[in-house]
Structure 1
Amino acid sequence: MESPIKPGCTSTSPVIKTIEMHTGGEPLRVIISGYPEILGDTILQKRQYVKENLDHLRKMLMFEPRGHYDMYGALLVDSDLPEADIAVLFLHNEGYSTMCGHAIVSLGRLAIDKMYVPPTEPETEVNIQCPCGLVKTFVEYKNGKSGGVRFHSVPAFLFASGIEVEVDGFGKIKVDISYGGAFYAFVCADVFGLDVRSSPTSSLKDVATAVSNAVRKRVKLHHPDDSDLEFLYGTILTDGQDKWSGEPTANICVFANAQVDRCPTGSGVTARIALQHAKSLIQLGQKRLFESGANKTLFTGMAVKQTKCGDFDAVVVEVAGHGYYTGEASFMLEEEDVVGKGFLLR
């Protein structure tokens, strides 16, 4: 349907249409039309192209007044893998991620409901190409309605354990670094006298940001597949309960430019399961509950298969959660609207 809005000023951008969703409280703005052509033979080349040529649109859609500091987006693009049903680039306050589990959960439902993939009962497989690789997604579908989503990760692995870094204000701290489609540093919050379930989010954010800064100064990351994957996405503070248990274990993820994840973090759960499996704290097929320190929402995670990623011993991890619709939107930018190009207030 044509928009009833008739701008008084000339629009300097196309009308960009989105579907608004959330997974575990973490927002997802899915961009379904309105972007210019995205060039590149591979998805990593497309990611580079939008960084270099279309970043003003990321700022317009993620930043205020249309978004906010912790907004998250997903941009649907053409896939270069014949087995992929859809392909996606991930957007946030700093740039472009290589993997996002909460986005995958919501996108699985969207792919069924928008008929990108014909639904079948009781579960429909949707193959989603991400910058980190192909993610197999499985969407519940019963009585004509989509439901919960689980996905199988790209190979996830423990990169390094017990690395000592100098954290401003805290001295030398040991961290683990694990990969779940993106690299994360892991450390127990009580090392800093904090609790992921009850400490102020601002305190947790500040500590996690300091850890990320320290790791980026100290550690050179390596990924066997592509150098574009070799960056630390963020730090995940945990409750320290890494040994398998039937009780939920809590964590909070601070990523990109001190952006706080509201949900348990799908790629973070993937990396944390890989870490726990590498330390023999969890076995294949042992399902765990992961609780968001921000709002108590839950994901499940388990290692389902051992594999390799280059020389790294790795696992394929299954993560499950629920995504929900919150609305639809059409966004534009008028010529005289300088502020409308995007700004952040924290």
Structure 2
Amino acid sequence: MSWQPATTWQRFTTLDLHAEGEPLRVLTAGLDPLPGATMLQKRRYARERLEGLRRLLMLEPRGHADMYGALITEPTSPESDLGVLFMHNEGWSTMCGHGIIALVTCLLEARPRPSTFPDLDCSGLAGKERLRIDTPAGQVVAQAALSPDRSRVMHVSFRNVPSFAYALDQVVDVPGWGRVRYDLAFGGAFYAYVDARDLGLTLEAANYRKLIEAGMAIKRAVMSAYPIHHPLEPDLSFLYGTIISGPPQDPAHQARNVCIFADGEVDRSPTGTGVSGRAALEYARGRLLPGQAFTTESILGTTFTVTIASEAAVAGFPAIIPEVSGRAWITGQHEFVLAPDDPLGQGFLLR
């Protein structure tokens, strides 16, 4: 059943969280289950039929330019516990690492029964601690570490989809920024990785406008210059964002990065799919071995740690299974309403 603005008042409830600073708004009531035999089919349905709902929950006046959200679905793999679709200011993601960390925290602490998957028994999940989650990019396996009284999730680790280096040491002309060297990698989505020092930028919150400008200019230039084809799935064949990397502020860490994705969103976390792709790049260059930890700071100084759980292959590309760890916190619960005569009911965006 698709969602369209109605002639009567509509209500939607959400649970909101953040994972190392990056928001996640989880819809818990107001929408029926989504059709589709695979998560990619569910994503296609959402893109075609649920754009109004995405805009209502993500954009102003209920959200903002950097809001991020999730719809819980029935699993599409027989061994999985649930599925999830992620959304943002431009559309629907294929995978999201901070979203997995926040979603698991939401399920095990708040135990919602979402209208999009009413048979989900979160009380039963709380005893499992290990959840298999279907995403459009594939199945991920998350493991929660609970507090001694089992009421809180202290951190979440998840084994991501196979991640791989796609192209190394490419150069592109970027208007306003000159010739820029970049790498391409897949960690659930494709990213272009660049060095902040090549751009004359530092990875500080005060520089976020310049980082958006650079990240989007690089994304557009790479999209024009280098066609991306996922070796197995055409629906994954697009450049999701730019990751601008630099040296960490804490010498105990290995890197600091800022991810600019979708329509100029700035990830406040270190980006779970992004650090997965970065681990694949480090592996391709022989700088990260299975079992070694690689900790990345965000623009806020929060961290995700990634390790190579195992080696793999994706249609001839040497790949890894990255395991990413981080934390999330519930920040609130909302009931949003939509009046039938609201002229801005489907949202707007001013940055």
Determine the structure 1 residue equivalent to 2:138.
133
Which position in structure 1 is the counterpart of 2:267? 261
Q: Is the alpha carbon distance of 1:189 and 1:332 closer, same or farther for their aligned partners in structure 2, counting shifts above 3 Å?
A: same
1:307 aligns with 2:316: no
Answer yes or no: is the 8 Å Cα contact 2:17–2:106 preserved in 1: no
Q: Describe how 1:54-65 pairs up with structure 2 within 5 A.
A: 54-65=50-61
What RMSD over aligned residues (CA atoms) do the two structures have, in Å? 1.6
State the alpha-carbon separation in 1 of the partners of residues 214 and 201 from structure 2: 9
Give the structure-2-normalised TM-score: 0.90
User: Structure 1 residue 240: deviation in Å?
Assistant: 5.5
1:271 and 2:277 equivalent?
A: yes
Q: Secondary structure at the match of 1:149?
A: strand
Could you tell me the TM-score, scaled by structure 1's length? 0.92
Aligned residue for 2:230, secondary structure, equals: coil
Deviation at residue 340 of structure 1 after TM alignment: 2.8
- Equivalent residues in 2 for 1:1-346, closer than 5 Å: 12=8, 14-113=10-109, 114=111, 115-116=121-122, 117-120=124-127, 124-141=129-146, 142-145=148-151, 146-197=153-204, 200-239=207-246, 246-293=252-299, 295-346=300-351
Identity of aligned residues (%): 40
Shift of 1:198: 6.6
Asked if 2 retains the 8 angstrom alpha-carbon contact of 1:161 and 1:175, the reply is yes
CA distance in 2, matches of 1:171, 1:253: 20
Amino acid at match of 1:94: E
Counterpart-to-counterpart distance in 2, 1:165 and 1:40: 39
The AA in structure 1 aligned to 2:220 is: N
Q: Secondary structure at the match of 1:84?
A: coil
- Residue identity in the other structure for 2:341: E
- The answer to which of 306-315 and 123-132 deviates more is 123-132
Deviation larger for 20-29 or 75-84: 75-84
> Which amino acid is the alignment partner of residue 77 of structure 1?
T
- Mapped partners of 1:342, 1:174: distance in 2: 37
Structure 2 CA distance for aligned equivalents of residues 223 and 319 of structure 1? 22
Distance in 1 (alpha carbons) for counterparts of 2:339 and 2:99: 29
For structure 2, the 5+ residue unaligned runs are: 1-5, 112-120
Give the distance between the partners of 1:106 and 1:11, measured in 2 at CA: 34
Q: Secondary structure at the match of 2:14?
A: strand
- Distance in 2, matches of 1:342 and 1:199, equals 27
CA 1:248–1:162: 2 relative to 1, 3 Å: closer
Shift of 1:172: 2.1
**Whole-Å Cα distance in 2 between the matches of residues 79 and 118 of structure 1?**
14
SS in 2 for 1:96: coil
Counterpart residue identity of residue 285, structure 2? K
Residues 164-183 of structure 1 show CA distances to partners (whole Å, capped at 9, x for unaligned) of 21111123222100000000
